[in-house]
């Protein structure tokens, strides 16, 4: 490979003249922005154990009332990007959010897309676009771009969930903002939320009259239905293949949201699988059981509610250490974005 000239090879007066004109020579930095063969991700393989995270989150609940926080969240920040940037990967933001009994996180809407993966607790709910969605462990709840949403808690114990947003990308595009609103008049779940047809594969409810024009017909994906689907799929897979589902829009078949992809996976007792090297970074969160994740020369022993993020372009090995119990994982990645941009790759 040809050695390129260095910035220091240029005379200082020439460099100063370029600076005054807001100009930069490309060749000294070309290999940095376009390395040979494989990118050099800033995203580092990082593990956030839930036990230590929960301790600090509950402490935050004692130190900061919801009125002062609005959203009481600890951000899972990747050191490769710098903690101040508050991002888990190039396009993924992760936050663990706490809502105490009787609290209400006020209504707002924002440009980044978000989802909530419920980690523990009972009695909380999220109202999205006027539709009240109960929050139960393992449920996935969408709060897509531009839709009003708020959180409330009628139970007796703390409720905690994992937030996943495409905030880093939207912020980088200088398109990130929010708008505060009034408390929503909520209605009980209807349409997609109440219809069993949406959780029956290959079946789409078709009303006699025109269907509504909701862009997101399904806002809550109950864990009970997802877990049941994974268990049935696992009965037909071999030991080298993990059972996996993709959360989709049930009317279009497209990803549930348009930037990040969301999935659930089941590993049988003792099962070990190797995922191919893919271009997007991936987040793994344990809903039930435990899982060892090996990626980027790191090995993380994840237990229930633990979360980790691994960079793209490297194979990932998943192993269920239990000889008797399955493991259930929630995954998030940048796959939809990569596909839209024509950047998606899988390598052997």
- Identify whether the C-beta of residue 165 lies closer than 8 Å to the C-beta of residue 224: no
Q: Which domains does the chain have, with CATH numbers?
A: 40-205+217-347 (2.60.120.10)
How far apart are alpha carbons 39 and 277 in whole angstroms?
A: 13
Residues 107-155 pLDDT 10s: 999 999 999 999 999 999 999 999 999 999 999 999 999 999 999 999 9
Residues 81-99 pLDDT 10s: 999 999 999 999 999 999 9
Residues 29-58 pLDDT 10s: 999 999 999 999 999 999 999 999 999 999
pLDDT for the residue 206: 76
How far apart are alpha carbons 305 and 91 in whole angstroms?
A: 22
Q: What is the number of other CB atoms lying within 10 angstroms of the CB of residue 172?
A: 12
Residues 268-297 pLDDT 10s: 999 999 999 999 999 999 999 999 999 999
Residues 256-270 pLDDT 10s: 999 999 999 999 999
Residues 184-236 pLDDT 10s: 887 765 444 445 567 677 777 777 655 567 889 899 999 999 999 999 999 99
What sign has the CA pseudo-torsion 97, 144, 198, 191?
positive
How far apart are alpha carbons 315 and 331 in whole angstroms?
A: 15
Q: The pTM is what? A: 0.94
Helix (H) or strand (E) holding 282: strand 282-288
How far apart are alpha carbons 197 and 204 in whole angstroms?
A: 6
Alpha helices in the chain (DSSP H): 12-20, 30-33, 50-63, 66-69, 167-172, 223-234, 335-340
Nearest CA to 240 out of 345, 323, 317, 348 is that of 317
């Amino acid at each position: 490979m040809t050695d390129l000239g260095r910035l220091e090879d240029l005379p200082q007066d020439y460099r100063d003249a370029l600076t005054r004109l807001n100009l930069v020579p490309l060749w000294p930095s070309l290999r940095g922005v376009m390395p040979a063969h494989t990118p050099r991700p800033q995203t580092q393989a990082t593990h956030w154990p839930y036990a230590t995270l929960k301790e600090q989150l509950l402490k935050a609940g004692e130190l900061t009332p919801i009125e002062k926080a609005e959203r009481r969240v600890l951000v899972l920040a990747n050191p490769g990007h710098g903690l101040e940037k508050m991002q888990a990967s190039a396009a993924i933001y992760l936050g663990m959010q706490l809502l105490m009994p009787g609290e209400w996180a006020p209504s707002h809407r924002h440009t980044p897309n978000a989802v909530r993966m419920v980690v523990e607790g009972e009695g909380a709910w999220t109202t999205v676009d006027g539709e009240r969605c109960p929050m139960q462990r393992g449920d996935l709840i969408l709060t897509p771009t531009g839709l009003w949403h708020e959180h409330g808690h009628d139970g007796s114990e703390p409720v905690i969930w994992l937030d996943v947003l495409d905030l880093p990308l939207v912020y980088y595009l200088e398109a990130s903002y929010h708008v505060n609103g009034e408390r929503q008049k909520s209605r009980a779940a209807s349409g997609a939320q109440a219809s069993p047809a949406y959780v029956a594969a290959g079946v789409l409810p078709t009303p006699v009259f025109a269907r509504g024009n909701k862009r997101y017909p399904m806002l809550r994906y109950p864990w009970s239905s997802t877990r049941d689907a994974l268990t049935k799929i696992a009965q037909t897979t071999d030991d080298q293949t993990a059972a996996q589902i993709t959360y989709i829009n049930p009317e279009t078949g497209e990803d549930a949201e348009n930037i990040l992809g969301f999935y659930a996976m089941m590993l049988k007792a003792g099962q070990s699988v190797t995922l191919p090297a893919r271009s997007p970074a991936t987040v793994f969160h344990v809903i039930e059981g435990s899982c060892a994740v090996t990626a980027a020369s790191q090995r993380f022993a994840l237990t229930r509610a633990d979360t980790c993020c691994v960079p793209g372009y490297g194979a990932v090995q998943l192993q269920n250490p239990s000889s008797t119990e399955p493991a259930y994982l929630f995954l998030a990645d940048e796959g939809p974005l990569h596909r839209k941009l024509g950047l998606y790759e899988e390598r052997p």
